Amino acid sequence: MLAAVALFALMDAGLKTLSAHYPPFQVAALRGLSSLPLVLGWALWTVGWRPLLRVRWPLHLLRGVLGVGMMASFVYALKRLPLSTAYSIFFVAPLLITALSVPFLGEKVGPRRWTAIAIGLLGVLVVLRPTGAGMLSWAGVAVLGAALAYAVSAITVRVLARSDSNQAMVVWLLALMALGAGILAWPAWQPLRAEHVGVVAAIGVVGTLGQYAITEAFRHGEASLIAPLEYSALIWGVALDLALWGVLPDAVTWLGAAIIIASGLYLLHREKGRAHLEAEHP
């Protein structure tokens, strides 16, 4: 799980690099295209082609739409925010998943968990600082939108997991994201610069390796024990921000991130033994 988080952080650094030169939908399409051949090969090697075709298409199409919106929004935000700030806001996703499980899955959430969700949302407000002198921006709203899309996608995975393989869910998410984002990006498509070919290839490789690592983590480990390791992404975000862009989060961002992470850890403790997030990453 730690390896998966590190690999995905490197992928996000690559996406942030591309976001400075290409439109968000084009970067989202490149993300899907770069990993799709490798993920498809992994899927065919592990389960064959039949499980990839015998799927619940309406839910996969919904996840494709959510994936396009999620990735484009996240890339838009990465162009304008440090990785560490984007991660701090995106950590609200597990709280949103718990909240959405009530209307969509009929799960029961007690007052303690609702309190944790509310505190976590307060932490998001701390990071965003929506005051006259604060940093509330469209980029921050975009990360929230990406987290919401991710949460809804996670809810659909809990339904799909009853009938579809994890390989099918990952393959079709990437394929539909590449296709949908590619169509939306086509009118403003920018030719890929030679110096960015290696970045796109690296995104494909580390994204695929990260996908494999997180799948193995959830397959061999107890979700309630390994899921908290996802928060190590903040350490990688800070390290990459400092190494590549020379920025560090301020004290208010650290405070907001601490509130959000504490709320998430409390929810994981309350939900010990239950399924957490799907074994995939945007």
State yes or no: pLDDT of 105 exceeds 90. Answer: no
pLDDT at 79 over 90: yes
Mean pLDDT of the chain: 91
Domain edges within the chain: 2-270
* Rama region for 131: left / alpha / beta (φ>0; ψ in -120 to 50; rest): beta
Q: Is the pLDDT of residue 183 over 80?
A: yes
DSSP assignment of 11-64: HHHHHHHHHTTS-HHHHHHHHHHHHHHHHHHHHHHHT-SHHHHSS-HHHHHHHH
CB 171 within 8 A of CB 25: no
At 189, list the tokens: 């498509």
Is 89 a residue whose pLDDT tops 60? yes
pLDDT value for 222: 78
Q: Residues with Cβ < 8 Å from 18, sequence gap 6 or more?
A: 27, 30, 75, 196, 199, 200, 203
Distance (Å, rounded) from C-alpha 64 to C-alpha 34? 16
| DSSP 8-class letter at 282 | -
Q: Is the pLDDT of residue 219 over 90?
A: no
CA 274 – CA 277 distance, rounded (Å): 10
Tell me which of 243 and 108 has the higher pLDDT.
243
Q: What is the pTM of this model?
A: 0.91
With a cut of 80, say whether residue 68 has pLDDT above it. Answer: yes
